[in-house]
Structure 1
């Protein structure tokens, strides 16, 4: 092999498997540095510093720094909670255990409400209080010292993780950000070309839109920690937020245009409008297939209105319905091109104007939060009651195990499965810990040999924790190997104590797994329905919310809720497709209602008679109310009422359009309003829409 071939092979390895091995090496280095410093400072439990590094280490520097910030805040809050609860309920074991259970359950519920890395801060605030306070239940005098030393050990782990991640072969998200954005833009362009040419089946199109949901939510998560890496990314954080918001707008516009094309093709009475628009779709698809479509899109947009008017003149002899179908699809086509240009121009700094920084809103149904609180409280309270009632010597470890299981699994869509994996990892950690306590630790001497002997099992656990399918096994092994069997400054060679504490952890985690599978699990049908109801209510938000920033709130909330449903439901199942249908029709109608409200506000109605203006404002208010009611309570009756309201508004809008035929500006505004109303009507009467399953 030549030098050039070896260099290329090494580069390929570093770009793929090399990242995995580098991450494992950095994780072990941070853990061993934290352990060594803790031993040097004679902190009582260096294992806590080691555990912190395994929980913190991530492939990118920004992820570690973001996690460190929230872990620091959560740890401080947990320390304060442990001290306050200990001071209030001193020598009152039952009340202290109840208050601590309530605190942990509340923090876990808030972690579900505020996800991403904020989730980690609330989780830490909960189980840090338990880690500090549980041992002090039977010895209140040691609470202050335990709080200070535990805080020092955790902070040491945070510092070591951050320093190693930032200085030892740092891997920055900013280096791959441009590549990931370019890849997403290319996938979107290819998908848009396929949609415009009608190449994809309905199921294929829905799956591609669902994949975009995961990309949108995933990008928002990565944007949150990318700003921790450099000042340049912090300065461009607003631009990245606008970029994700513009991508959501472009996807929604593409779906609306796709639905309009589908309805034109399905009806023989609308074939004339479809045939007249096909040259525009074909030309636009050809532009999207170009390597750099942006300049061609701008030129195409500049000439599109005149070409559409010329094409509409060719339909002068067609009936009114055909002309309205053409106008509606033409308006959707223009809006799609405008939003796509805005999305493509944001990275270059153009087209942002005075647009305010977009804000992504994560939404979690209150019943999901309450169910998490109940489930966590029941598990921890039952474990603590059994410990106190039986005076179980290892009961404290059982409560800690139950707390860690509930806290670390609260973000999982299948917490019982995740906890079962953690229990399996903990069981392996107990076996491995027994071997190390009985045979390895007594036979070695010196920090170097200790690190060399700890490296293989900890590296294996960290490797499993990196893979989503086996993350529970890896986390359970690393966390409980460190908590149960990692070396301290004064090692206790007591296998019986290790086995008793390990058995307590296993029993508590298995009980937690059973409770999470029985006590209102996240996949409970009625709980899933509540999340779906909140998804549908996004369309009501589009009808009733304040217009300032409404588009961003509507799109981000809808995509976030659909991302939760995709995690809860089995992919390609009937329930998943039903939820996806609701998401698409919510985006479709909700965006149309936002456009209708904006266009109606910009409409100049001075040229219309007073009676017509009053009739228009009344009918518009009725449409907004009936659409909101339909999505909150979909039924045949609410559907008929909504369709009737939209049709009545269309009749009034047509009368206004007829009166404004000599006012070019007002006529164009009325055409946009009429196009929104007609599109909403076609969406409501679509036989594939999920409004009424029995019709």
Structure 2
């Protein structure tokens, strides 16, 4: 008996194993179960209501499927908007061009192209509104050209069917063991500071290698973009998170500023270590160690609201003790190393360190404020501003419009009975793949998934369904197909196969209220689908695929132009716009260049350069905006004119990078530093009291960035 008890696992181990399963494989099985409940509920209602096309109900349900309830609700909301927009436009087109198929087809192609371009522009759940506005228009319009007299009733039936599928998915997702987006958002917020604290602690004590730093920068950019998407989604499912939407936006903005400040400090410390500036590092090290030890204590720890309150108190004390230490270090450096360059290095590094701690303090205060339903920090007007390449969106729209025209012309010229399916499928494939960084791969996955669906559909339609009777047996037969498709959707690398299997199996193989067993029509329908998918794959390969150098280079150019925007745009809201736009561009370009580490490395180097220069320019502009009205701070002063000349030199450099433009920018920043240092300042020469001292630090950081041997400007 005692030996048996020894072999039995302990209760704690069992609970841990069950918890681990629930958060890994359990999530997959729960998604499969919810998919089956959704599908059979929607199908039963479609049959009971005797809807003309039950397959449309299931297609709508499967397209809306997401693991988290907030994602389902957001996707459903925008999908209904897109459906209504597509309905309105298509009824108008039918009324105007029902007797002229060529003009009708041209208008449909233009509309679908615009909708697809809009989907590529937004790249979030709003993209589904655009996709469905185009797809619904085609789904209603193409069959209606055969029977225009019944177009309006067909449109109403499609809207009812689509809405029913959306409602079934939303209700099941919200009721059956819901996985909320709010929980995912809170988990992301609680864990990201602990991860960042370990990274920052290693950077301050000198143990952070370049490869880890670059990988972390790319990951942080993706996390920031993902968190903004989660913030938008949670507003649909949780009123408590909706009350905190402003603070969540502020928290994300402050985290971006915090990571940019750390990046600037880390790069400067790396340059000092490479130059072996031992005197500066030696006097600065006690200050760095204090902050590093504080951060090390938070490494890997989840940060709840109560923890954030304690962190805020710790950072307040750290700030209080850090300033005297910096002044002691400055005095020590003055006795041992009077060189101007070393003094500027120290001043710049010390200010970046103090601002870094201050940024963390602001972040901790905002995080702690989430505990309250209402808080003054909710008043936050700056927003995350995503950036999309207009040409890439236009290419996606053109590709989809061209497929509509080619499919429609082929249908008209051949009078193929399945030509409507051919044209309809080409639109849906092009629309779904337009938002993908690799439309060729997604189109191919959808095609292979559809081929699998055709095989299973043929077996079920002609070998199984004629021998069963009743809805329970139908569910039993369809369950393996739906479960397989849901399982594939849960695997990011295989999700295209799952979507292709579920969507096109339902379109061609799902029995209607009046079942038909017509092998000729069945084969024609699937042949039309596979041919149109093959055409979409060819179009994705031939017509400017996004994961090619033409788009990487444009996104890289847009990254550089962020510096130009920082110099020329209004200061209000500039910081948040700069931080979010830069990270969104990096996230896009990094994803598109998967498999090309050389391209990704170059994109990261440009991002670092842009962030360094952009941060310094924003701080310079803020300092000049807040200058007191004293004669030595006037617009006409030489140091103010020198900074304006530096701005013009930097604009030339980042619009057209070259060695000659870099040298001009270096000369301009040297002149600005000299003019600033020789200006008579009546305030104590500390960065916490002298605006000119701070200005000189920002200018010096720009100079060190331009001189960095790792800079892409030196390629």
TM-score normalised by the chain length of structure 1: 0.96
Match of 1:163 in 2: 171
Structure 1 pair 594/662, CA: closer, same or farther in 2 (3 Å)? closer
Indicate yes or no: 2:413 matched with 1:381: no
Match of 1:329 in 2: 349
Indicate yes or no: 2:678 matched with 1:652: no
SS of alignment partner, residue 440 of structure 1: helix
Q: 1:613: how far off?
A: 3.7
For residues 316 and 282 of structure 1, the distance between their equivalents in structure 2, rounded to whole angstroms, comes to: 21
Structure 1 pair 7/272, CA: closer, same or farther in 2 (3 Å)? closer
1:437·1:495 contact (CA, 8 Å) conserved in 2? no
Matches within 5 A, 1:163-242: 163-242=171-250
For residues 271 and 15 of structure 2, the distance between their equivalents in structure 1, rounded to whole angstroms, comes to: 56
Matches within 5 A, 1:114-125: 114-125=122-133
For residues 49 and 608 of structure 1, the distance between their equivalents in structure 2, rounded to whole angstroms, comes to: 72
For residues 278 and 340 of structure 2, the distance between their equivalents in structure 1, rounded to whole angstroms, comes to: 14
Match of 1:692 in 2: 714
Match of 1:631 among 639, 654, 659: 654
SS of alignment partner, residue 608 of structure 1: helix
Structure 1's unaligned 5+ residue stretches are none
Matches within 5 A, 1:108-507: 108-268=116-276, 270-291=277-298, 293-317=311-335, 318-349=338-369, 353=377, 356-507=380-531
Match of 1:565 in 2: 589
Structure 1 pair 662/393, CA: closer, same or farther in 2 (3 Å)? closer
For residues 10 and 270 of structure 2, the distance between their equivalents in structure 1, rounded to whole angstroms, comes to: 57
1:273·1:325 contact (CA, 8 Å) conserved in 2? yes
Matches within 5 A, 1:642-681: 642-656=665-679, 658-660=680-682, 668-681=690-703
Structure 1 pair 662/668, CA: closer, same or farther in 2 (3 Å)? closer
Indicate yes or no: 2:604 matched with 1:580: yes
Q: 1:297: how far off?
A: 2.2
Q: 1:625: how far off?
A: 2.1
For residues 432 and 81 of structure 1, the distance between their equivalents in structure 2, rounded to whole angstroms, comes to: 36
SS of alignment partner, residue 436 of structure 2: coil
Structure 1 pair 104/672, CA: closer, same or farther in 2 (3 Å)? same
For residues 393 and 185 of structure 2, the distance between their equivalents in structure 1, rounded to whole angstroms, comes to: 33
Match of 1:49 in 2: 57
Q: 1:11: how far off?
A: 3.8
For residues 21 and 666 of structure 1, the distance between their equivalents in structure 2, rounded to whole angstroms, comes to: 57
For residues 355 and 686 of structure 1, the distance between their equivalents in structure 2, rounded to whole angstroms, comes to: 39
SS of alignment partner, residue 426 of structure 1: helix
SS of alignment partner, residue 327 of structure 1: helix
**For structure 1, which segment, 332-341 or 601-610, has the greater mean C-alpha deviation from structure 2 after superposition?**
601-610
Q: 1:667: how far off?
A: 5.7
Matches within 5 A, 1:541-620: 541-571=565-595, 573-604=597-628, 606-608=630-632, 613-620=636-643
Match of 2:4 in 1: none
For residues 259 and 7 of structure 1, the distance between their equivalents in structure 2, rounded to whole angstroms, comes to: 45
Q: 1:33: how far off?
A: 1.0
1:346·1:352 contact (CA, 8 Å) conserved in 2? no
Q: 1:666: how far off?
A: 9.6
Structure 1 pair 440/581, CA: closer, same or farther in 2 (3 Å)? same
Q: 1:585: how far off?
A: 1.1
Structure 1 pair 353/236, CA: closer, same or farther in 2 (3 Å)? closer
For residues 441 and 30 of structure 1, the distance between their equivalents in structure 2, rounded to whole angstroms, comes to: 21
2:258·2:360 contact (CA, 8 Å) conserved in 1? yes
Q: 1:228: how far off?
A: 1.2
2:566·2:574 contact (CA, 8 Å) conserved in 1? yes
For residues 7 and 638 of structure 1, the distance between their equivalents in structure 2, rounded to whole angstroms, comes to: 64
1:287·1:293 contact (CA, 8 Å) conserved in 2? no
Q: 1:491: how far off?
A: 1.3
For residues 616 and 2 of structure 1, the distance between their equivalents in structure 2, rounded to whole angstroms, comes to: 74
Q: 1:221: how far off?
A: 1.4
Q: 1:353: how far off?
A: 4.6
For residues 277 and 664 of structure 1, the distance between their equivalents in structure 2, rounded to whole angstroms, comes to: 16
For residues 17 and 263 of structure 2, the distance between their equivalents in structure 1, rounded to whole angstroms, comes to: 43
**For structure 1, which segment, 130-139 or 245-254, has the greater mean C-alpha deviation from structure 2 after superposition?**
130-139
Write out per-residue CA displacement over residues 109-153 of structure 1, whole angstroms, 9 at most, x where no aligned residue. 000111210011100111111111111222212211210100000
For residues 445 and 602 of structure 1, the distance between their equivalents in structure 2, rounded to whole angstroms, comes to: 79
Corresponding pairs, count: 690
Structure 1 pair 504/213, CA: closer, same or farther in 2 (3 Å)? same
For residues 188 and 138 of structure 1, the distance between their equivalents in structure 2, rounded to whole angstroms, comes to: 60
1:660·1:666 contact (CA, 8 Å) conserved in 2? no
Structure 2's unaligned 5+ residue stretches are 1-7, 299-309
Write out per-residue CA displacement over residues 172-217 of structure 1, whole angstroms, 9 at most, x where no aligned residue. 2223433322211110000001111111222221111111111111
RMSD, aligned CA: 1.9
SS of alignment partner, residue 548 of structure 1: coil
Q: 1:57: how far off?
A: 1.8
Q: 1:452: how far off?
A: 1.3
- Ranges of 4+ aligned residues in structure 1 off by more than 4 Å: 5-9, 350-355, 661-667
Write out per-residue CA displacement over residues 579-621 of structure 1, whole angstroms, 9 at most, x where no aligned residue. 11101111111011000100122123514297x8432332222
For residues 94 and 119 of structure 2, the distance between their equivalents in structure 1, rounded to whole angstroms, comes to: 23
Match of 2:76 in 1: 68
2:258·2:359 contact (CA, 8 Å) conserved in 1? yes
Match of 1:26 among 34, 38, 43: 34
TM-score normalised by the chain length of structure 2: 0.93
Q: 1:572: how far off?
A: 6.0
For residues 525 and 687 of structure 2, the distance between their equivalents in structure 1, rounded to whole angstroms, comes to: 78
Q: 1:354: how far off?
A: 7.6
Q: 1:494: how far off?
A: 0.6
For residues 305 and 665 of structure 1, the distance between their equivalents in structure 2, rounded to whole angstroms, comes to: 10
**For structure 1, which segment, 63-72 or 171-180, has the greater mean C-alpha deviation from structure 2 after superposition?**
171-180
For residues 521 and 688 of structure 2, the distance between their equivalents in structure 1, rounded to whole angstroms, comes to: 83
1:603·1:670 contact (CA, 8 Å) conserved in 2? no
